[in-house]
Homo-oligomer: A and B are copies of this chain.
Amino acid sequence: MNLADQGLLLELQLCFDVYAASRAINKAYRPLLEALGLTYPQYLVMLVLWQHEAQTVKQLGEQLQLDSGTLSPLLKRLESAGFLQRQRRASDEREVEIQLTDAGRALRQQASNVPASIFKALGLTASDYFELKRLLHQVMASVEANNPD
């Protein structure tokens, strides 16, 4: 097998591992989040809102690297589930401010055991944890430099 062909081997490809790991992690979250009535992306939105309650769609999108095409329908679902409310800002009618409801805030307590469960499931030592984080950040920085938004 020549060099060009080696690059085309699935088992040698790091990118497939990232893709597969992302799906495997999502699967680990699923049963935990199902109990809260959330999907993983919805959980991420709630995490951001638990940190800072009032945010616009744009601000959420910047932190999660998601655009309005993804966020708008997701936020609608979270609204109809009763976890948040959306309203146009008076100061700038283009912006939509997302506010947690009491139910949305209450969900935080129910979610408090999720991180520890997941961390345990990852099976990483502390040093491997930070090493993995460092490498992923490096990949993202490099990829985004080559392929700017």
Residues of A within 8 A of B (CB): 4-5, 7-29, 31, 40, 44, 47-48, 50-51, 63, 65, 108, 111-116, 118-124, 128-129, 131-133, 135-147
Contacts and interface: CB of A to CB of B under 8 A. Distances in A.
Contact of A116 (B7, B21, B29, B115): B7
B142 A108 contact: no
A52 B137 CA distance: 34
Contact of A8 (B10, B18, B111): B111
20 contacts: A4-B115, A8-B47, A8-B111, A9-B51, A10-B51, A10-B115, A11-B116, A11-B119, A11-B122, A14-B133, A16-B44, A17-B132, A17-B136, A20-B65, A24-B140, A121-B142, A121-B143, A122-B142, A123-B139, A123-B145
Contacts of A31: 147
A146 B31 CA distance: 12
A137 to B, nearest CB: 7
